[in-house]
Structure 1
Amino acid sequence: MIKFRFEYGMILIYLLLGSGWILFSDELTELLAPNPEVAAHFQTYKGLFYVFVTAFLFYGFLRKHLQKLRKAEEKALESDRLKSGFLANVSHEIRTPMNGVMGFAELLKDESLTNEQRLEYISVIERSGERMLDLINDIVNISMIDTEQVRLHLSNVDTSELVTSLAALFEPAAIEKGVSLKFSPCSGDGMVGNLLLDREKVICVLSILIKNALKYTSNGSIEVSCRREADIVRFTVKDTGIGIPEGQLEAIFNRFVQVNMSYTKTYDGAGLGLAIAKSFVEIMGGKIWAESYQGSGSIFNFTIPYKTSKDLIK
């Protein structure tokens, strides 16, 4: 079905009405007012009627475009507000680890430090550097998402291997926090063979969810699993952490929002991870959601439609 722009439609209506009025108004006048005196009055009102029709169409055109301009202005103001907030948050998040790097680098100059103290200071510098690198990666991802530069790169993925391969990456942090970390192989009917998925994006989303679970879980457990369901594959990250208030289950996927606002001073992070995860999942054609109650842990699920090599052959 062909769609016309609003202004083109208005011009077409104007041309049709104008042409019809010019061609048939005299005949209409003669039909309605055969008396010459009455016809003269009709001639006067004929022009006035056309002016009113023109004004009405012009008003409709202006109103439509004023609405568009107001929406564009509101969008621009909201964009400016978000950019200002983004810069303020990023500035704070960069400044904190940078102060750690510079401060402890200065302390390392002290020749009287013991070997144990030096190792401790170096460890702080490494953690601060990792935090800055994570933030830079988040900023790059957000920028690519906003400019629509993110592309899918499908490949044959063994989902069980993908999930279990993350164990080596996160086990050291889990051991340090006293958290039991369990990675379960994928299950489900017909879970044989590889699936065509964007491996890097799936790993990125899972990593974000596991990092979040580790951040908000102490001396508990985290379980990572996946399951093949019909034409989708479901990934799940379940933890026994602080949980999420019910009213924040949707807001946590917005930028710069952290779980449980009363705890934001306790936990590091810019609040970009879940926003990136949501965008990546949606780019892959999937959905992501959280189930939780405050104090009872959280369950994050995301589903992705998949294809197999056989589907491509068909």
Structure 2
Amino acid sequence: MIKFRFEYGMILIYLLLGSGWILFSDELTELLAPNPEVAAHFQTYKGLFYVFVTALLFYGFLRKHLQKLRKAEEKALESDRLKSGFLANVSHEIRTPMNGVMGFAELLKDESLTNEQRLEYISVIERSGERMLDLINDIVNISMIDTGQVRLHLSNVDTSELVTSLAALFEPAAIEKGVSLKFSPCSGDGMVGNLLLDREKVICVLSILIKNALKYTSKGSIEVSCRREADIVRFTVKDTGIGIPEGQLEAIFKRFVQVNMSYTKTYDGAGLGLAIAKSFVEIMGGKIWAESYQGSGSIFNFTIPYKTSKDLIK
């Protein structure tokens, strides 16, 4: 479809209105004012009427166009502001673990270190490397989402096995923090057989939610479960952490945004995880939301429509 520039459209409308008015207004004048003297006055008012009508039309068109331009400008300014904040945050997130790697690598050169000290320094380097790798993965995922390179890869998935398989990945971190981590097999009517899901993306979303729960939960428990409901499967991550202010439950899923910076400044992270989780869930045709009150823990749910092998045969 050919799109005309705004100014070309305005000129075209003006020409059409003017031509139409010239062609038909004279005939209208002859019908309404057969007397020459009356017709002369009518011609004057006819011109004023044309100017008045076209002025109103052009005002309406220009006002609508300017409103779009202002909204686009505001959106661009907001995007620049958020990206600037994001870059500042990312630079901090890279610099901090990099300092840990460089600093403790230098300390390892000391030959007088005991084995325990060496193991401790190596552990710090490993954690710093993992933190940088997580950030790089987040940036890569964001880039793939923006460029439309994310594709669904459906396979037969045992959802109970998928959920419980994450225990080995996150139990060490939970034990270190003194937090109870529970993984429950999937429940629901007719929960028999595998479901056709994108296993990799489901694991990615669950991992983001579990990491988020571990970050903000210093005591208590984290529960991970799933349930089959009609034609969807629901995954839930519930924690007893610091919670989220009710008015900010939607903002946490926005990219480049951190909820209440003064409130979360003691926690690491670039603020991309939940935005990535939301994008992946939506790509899978589902939805994600949070339920929480500040100081009372949080519950994150996401649902995904599924099919079975029998559905494909049909």
TM-score between the two structures when normalised by the length of structure 2: 0.90
* Equivalent residue, structure 1, for 2:124: 124
* 1:73-126 CA distance string (max 9 Å, x none): 112111111111111110111111111111111111111111111111110000
Between Structure 1 and Structure 2, how many residues are aligned?
Answer: 314
Aligned partners of 1:30, 1:295: CA distance in 2, in Å? 81
Aligned partners of 2:258, 2:31: CA distance in 1, in Å? 75
Quickly say closer, same or farther: Cα 1:198–1:5, change in 2 above 3 A. Answer: farther
Quickly say closer, same or farther: Cα 1:283–1:36, change in 2 above 3 A. Answer: same
Structure 2 residue matching 1:223: 3-state secondary structure: strand
Aligned partners of 1:84, 1:221: CA distance in 2, in Å? 36
Aligned partners of 1:28, 1:8: CA distance in 2, in Å? 30
- State the Cα distance separating 1:263 from its structure 2 match: 4.8
- Structure 1 stretch displaced more, 234-243 or 256-265: 256-265
* 1:43-83 CA distance string (max 9 Å, x none): 23333333333333333322222222112211211111111
* Unaligned stretches of 5+ residues in structure 2: none
1:25-174 correspondence runs (5 A): 25-174=25-174
Structure 2 residue matching 1:219: 3-state secondary structure: coil
Quickly say closer, same or farther: Cα 1:172–1:70, change in 2 above 3 A. Answer: same
- State the Cα distance separating 1:285 from its structure 2 match: 1.8
* 1:257-284 CA distance string (max 9 Å, x none): 5567555243222222112112211222
- Structure 1 stretch displaced more, 213-222 or 49-58: 49-58
- State the Cα distance separating 1:239 from its structure 2 match: 1.7
Quickly say closer, same or farther: Cα 1:90–1:35, change in 2 above 3 A. Answer: same
Quickly say closer, same or farther: Cα 1:265–1:3, change in 2 above 3 A. Answer: closer
- Structure 1 stretch displaced more, 73-82 or 47-56: 47-56
Structure 2 residue matching 1:53: 3-state secondary structure: helix
- Given that 2:174 and 2:180 are in contact with CA atoms closer than 8 Å, whether structure 1 keeps it comes out as yes
- Given that 2:82 and 2:256 are in contact with CA atoms closer than 8 Å, whether structure 1 keeps it comes out as no
Q: Percent identity?
A: 99
- Extract structure 1 runs of 4+ deviating beyond 6 A: 1-13
- State the Cα distance separating 1:287 from its structure 2 match: 1.6
Quickly say closer, same or farther: Cα 1:85–1:112, change in 2 above 3 A. Answer: same
- Given that 1:89 and 1:256 are in contact with CA atoms closer than 8 Å, whether structure 2 keeps it comes out as no
* Equivalent residue, structure 1, for 2:268: 268
- Structure 1 stretch displaced more, 9-18 or 194-203: 9-18
- State the Cα distance separating 1:142 from its structure 2 match: 1.7
- State the Cα distance separating 1:253 from its structure 2 match: 2.0
- Given that 1:152 and 1:198 are in contact with CA atoms closer than 8 Å, whether structure 2 keeps it comes out as yes
- State the Cα distance separating 1:9 from its structure 2 match: 8.8
- Given that 2:83 and 2:256 are in contact with CA atoms closer than 8 Å, whether structure 1 keeps it comes out as no
Aligned partners of 2:56, 2:218: CA distance in 1, in Å? 67
* Unaligned stretches of 5+ residues in structure 1: none
- State the Cα distance separating 1:6 from its structure 2 match: 9.1
- State the Cα distance separating 1:24 from its structure 2 match: 2.8
Aligned partners of 2:186, 2:2: CA distance in 1, in Å? 47
- State the Cα distance separating 1:216 from its structure 2 match: 1.9
- Structure 1 stretch displaced more, 72-81 or 116-125: 72-81
- Given that 1:183 and 1:223 are in contact with CA atoms closer than 8 Å, whether structure 2 keeps it comes out as yes
Structure 1 residue matching 2:34: 3-state secondary structure: coil
- Given that 1:243 and 1:298 are in contact with CA atoms closer than 8 Å, whether structure 2 keeps it comes out as yes
- Structure 1 stretch displaced more, 54-63 or 121-130: 54-63
Aligned partners of 1:239, 1:200: CA distance in 2, in Å? 23
Quickly say closer, same or farther: Cα 1:262–1:13, change in 2 above 3 A. Answer: closer
- State the Cα distance separating 1:27 from its structure 2 match: 2.5
- Structure 1 stretch displaced more, 229-238 or 170-179: 170-179
- State the Cα distance separating 1:147 from its structure 2 match: 3.0
* 1:156-194 CA distance string (max 9 Å, x none): 211111111111111111222222222111110111121
- Given that 1:223 and 1:238 are in contact with CA atoms closer than 8 Å, whether structure 2 keeps it comes out as yes
Quickly say closer, same or farther: Cα 1:265–1:80, change in 2 above 3 A. Answer: closer
Quickly say closer, same or farther: Cα 1:96–1:65, change in 2 above 3 A. Answer: same
* 1:203-229 CA distance string (max 9 Å, x none): 011001111111222342221110000
- Given that 2:86 and 2:270 are in contact with CA atoms closer than 8 Å, whether structure 1 keeps it comes out as no
- State the Cα distance separating 1:4 from its structure 2 match: 12
Quickly say closer, same or farther: Cα 1:87–1:21, change in 2 above 3 A. Answer: same
- Given that 1:14 and 1:57 are in contact with CA atoms closer than 8 Å, whether structure 2 keeps it comes out as no
Aligned partners of 1:86, 1:77: CA distance in 2, in Å? 14
Structure 2 residue matching 1:307: 3-state secondary structure: coil
- Structure 1 stretch displaced more, 145-154 or 101-110: 145-154
- Structure 1 stretch displaced more, 46-55 or 212-221: 46-55
* 1:234-271 CA distance string (max 9 Å, x none): 00111222223333322222335556755524322222
